[in-house]
Chains A and B, each alone.
Chain A
């Protein structure tokens, strides 16, 4: 249409180009401006996802070279779903998800309330301090905790040994140094690391939500004679539900994909505590890069994906109504 018009009325060259350029801009500029995201997403997001889906139906030893894979149908899924090592890693993941996820919120909500109510003058400083672990490299954190949890000279065991000399506590605590790096104990160590690292992040989320709660609600409650606890229980908690939905969703997704902390603490799988501490993502990584079973690893990724989807949906059922403004 444009083409035929310009042919019919031969305009001078510069103005014709100017018009074409302006038309082109008007039509395509928006697409060009948003294209960087789509190009990056296609290369680093969509393509790998689809490739891993395709790979989950193949058997491929990557050191054989590109293209040397063999179609095996659902074999990888059947193998993974009946693999005791996979289920043990799933159990570790869920255990860690609960015992490192719940405390984060149980600490963060009251902490945010206290910071808001009592420490509001030092709010910025206190929040920054609690937030610091979140922006510290997980690898650095895991390395430091490795030293703290050391069996013979670790600070944590030294503290326990010292507390052991106290009259009442002593009866409760073990007399020998605890070896944290066994399958039975490693989960507690990991949970401590994760809670320490992510509580600050959740505190920040809850603090921002608490600040958005109108002051007059508290004032009205105070006039009616509500105590601090009652204000917290009947005003803060209900109004925090949308943020709880968001924060718990993030925790579920993050905890189900926990990787760096166990990977570093378990020395990449070389530690004797690996069976009791490795998470599903760590098991997936090792299946791919240590045992070179790419197809099986891809099937683990997709099973994990479905599992996270189900958990997020359950979370939606619990907190979601409030998040949408219902209740």
Chain B
């Protein structure tokens, strides 16, 4: 009893002591919170009087809560993590501070980052609403054991026709599927062939371009893979997907470099040493995911919020800490020169994969966010499933998609 009282008194004393500190709320989703937990002690060395409070919610809940909070102007954090899928939408709204302006003057930092990330966080009217923290250079994962069994040289998969031909070989020799979902091949082609500084679906003037040849080819490649029975028809992020990686029933996967961390940590740790990576076919480079930090206009601690964001995004030590904690690929160019980048990746059979990813990240063309990107993506996904699942012909599916996107632009 006495001990409890002493404990309580001590707790009260310490919480009083803490109350003297300034509290900074940071809203974040997993596993970016693990990166922050590694960065905060470092930040506190420079700002000992700041207590950083994390508000952690699952990916979808986090962004929903953020949307609701922006709508009502209530309950907003001082710093909000924003994932790539949402940054374009939030950029078009008015809920975040424009970091180009004083007192932030973020313009001076832009050259420090992987170039395409700046465009992602910039609105059509030129406001820059969030600083990039990590990126996901697109990469080509393959199972070296399955390829060897089928006698397929990974280099032969560096063209799309070669990729499909290899898929036939793999299927007949080992029974494994070439890829989990043929739709992935369509998407990677669409993103990687987008001209610099454009949205994937719209041209500079905002016209819908989803019926152009690059979409037709992307759809044709996916259809050819499906028609040859080379894909397992498994959607991403489902139990079957994880199972396929574990059992080795799919031979390749296109994804962001971060997939390696997921495979290694929980999806298929037992496949260690069986995976390798190479660049995407036909000299394609694409970005796959990425995270940002922004300051809501309603934040009460903007100056401190900015100090925090500046610390975690522009200092090498913070970026390296995040990289070591969760394998988040740093958006900060200087951090990519860290010696640890040349270390072999055990999970990939000792490959120096990070150097390859760094090279890819530097070649990805900057894309521009369009307000209607998400709805265009939705409509195109439906069109692709009509082509793959229901045998609809490609030109009419794309023409229909174009019409549906155009009527959404109001």
Partner of A267, one of B70, B237, B249: B237
Contacts beyond the supplied A79-B410, A183-B390: 5 A-B pairs with Cβ under 8 Å:
A59-B410, A63-B95, A64-B94, A286-B378, A292-B89
Total cross-chain contacts (CB, 8 A): 110
Q: Are B94 and A68 in contact (CB under 8 A)?
A: yes
CB of B93 within 8 A of CB of A63, answer yes
State whether the Cβ of B404 lies closer than 8 Å to any Cβ in chain A: yes
B interface residues with partner A (beta carbon < 8 Å) = 60, 64, 67-68, 70-73, 89-90, 92-95, 181, 183, 232-240, 243-244, 249, 297-298, 374-375, 378-379, 381-382, 384-386, 388-390, 404, 407, 410
Pairs A–B under 8 Å by Cβ, sample size 17: A59-B410, A63-B95, A64-B94, A65-B73, A65-B94, A68-B94, A79-B410, A82-B407, A146-B239, A150-B240, A151-B234, A182-B390, A183-B382, A267-B238, A272-B181, A286-B378, A291-B378
Partner of A65, one of B95, B181, B385: B95
Contact of A272 (CB < 8 Å), options: B95, B374, B389: B389
- Per the CB 8 Å criterion, the residue count for chain A at the interface is 40
Docked pose: A215 CA to B26 CA in angstroms? 67
Q: Which residues of A contact B71 (CB under 8 A)?
A: 62-63, 65-66, 294
Assess whether B389 is in contact with A63, with CB atoms less than 8 Å apart: no
Please tell me if the beta carbons of A63 and B385 are within 8 angstroms of each other in the complex: no
Pair B89/A183 contact, Cβ less than 8 Å: no
Report A47 CB to chain B, min CB distance, Å: 13
Contact with B along A131-155 (1 / 0, CB 8 A): 0000000000000001100111100
Residue of B nearest to A67 (CB): B73
Q: Is the CB of A66 within 8 A of B73?
A: yes
Flag if A75 contacts B68 (CB, 8 Å). Answer: no
Q: How far is the CA of A203 from the CA of B171 in the complex (A)?
A: 49
Q: Contacting B382 at CB < 8 Å: which of A151, A267, A274, A289?
A: A274
A219 beta carbon closer than 8 Å to chain B:
no
A292-B67 contact in complex given A65-B94, A75-B410, A184-B390, C-beta closer than 8 Å: yes
- Given the known inter-chain contacts A151-B234, A152-B249, please indicate yes or no for A268 contacting B60, CB distance below 8 A: yes
Residues of A with C-beta under 8 A to B404: 84-85
Question: Do B70 and A65 touch across chains, with their CB atoms under 8 A apart?
Answer: yes
Among A75, A275, A286, A294, the one with the most B-chain Cβ atoms within 10 Å of its Cβ is A275
Q: Are B237 and A61 in contact (CB under 8 A)?
A: no
Q: Which residues of A contact B68 (CB under 8 A)?
A: 62
| Minimum CB–CB distance for B10 against chain A, Å | 41
Nearest B residue to A150 via CB reads B240
Q: Is the Cβ of A61 less than 8 Å from the Cβ of B239?
A: no
Q: Once bound together, how far apart are the Cα atoms of A152 and B233, in whole Å?
A: 9
Residues of A within 8 A of B181 (CB): 272
